[in-house]
Amino acid sequence: MKVSRRARRMQRHYGRMHKTGGLNLVSLMDIFTILVFFLMVNSSDVKVLQQNPSIELPKSTASADTKETIVLTVVGEDILIQGRKVAGLADLSADNQIVDGIKKELEYQASRNKHLVSAESTAAGLPITIMGDKDIPYQSLKKIMESCVAANYTNISLAVSKVAHKGEG
């Protein structure tokens, strides 16, 4: 049976128009490649301390990275270690140089956190980060630091806000 030209043309047209559509995976793979690259670049080892909004940290251009340590925070009239109140700023006004609440809590934290205590860290002193407002009186900060040293926390870091250098984004 002979098929007319019109019938063949209609079959070709019908065949072209009613094919099942294919999914173009090339553009999808490009998008996922870019997404993976973006996530890898932006997942760098940035350490961020949980900051209380009432504390205004001093500014610094230091480039050293932070390490995981015990955090001593001075908020208002309270002194907190790992979020737990151990003393008040009124305790710092006494004549003694060492605040017992700070020393006892730091000794407890040293006995509790075995990953911070090793042979070389015990000899060099345990690490601690002090986070306080930039307007804390020096005498108060000195007594806090002396209390830390009395508990063998001699590797003391002060938390600061990083200021970008000129030319940085």
Q: State the residue range of the domain holding 85.
A: 59-162
Residue 7: inside a domain, yes or no? no
23 in a structural domain: no
Of 159, 164, 143, residue with least CA distance to 58: 159
Q: Are 57 and 157 in contact (CB under 8 A)?
A: no
pTM: 0.57
Q: Is residue 105 part of a domain?
A: yes
Query: Residue 40 falls within a domain, yes or no?
Result: no
Q: Can you tell me the distance from the alpha carbon of 146 to that of 94, in angstroms, rounded to the nearest whole number?
A: 14
What is the pLDDT, as a whole number, of residue 97?
A: 77
Kindly list the averaged pLDDT for each block of 10 residues, start to end, along the chain of length 169.
87 78 79 88 63 65 66 85 84 76 86 64 76 82 88 83 61
Answer for the pair 87, 79: CB distance below 8 angstroms, yes or no. yes
Residue 53: inside a domain: no
Number of domains in the chain: 1
Q: Are 74 and 132 in contact (CB under 8 A)?
A: yes
Question: Is there a domain that residue 45 lies in?
Answer: no
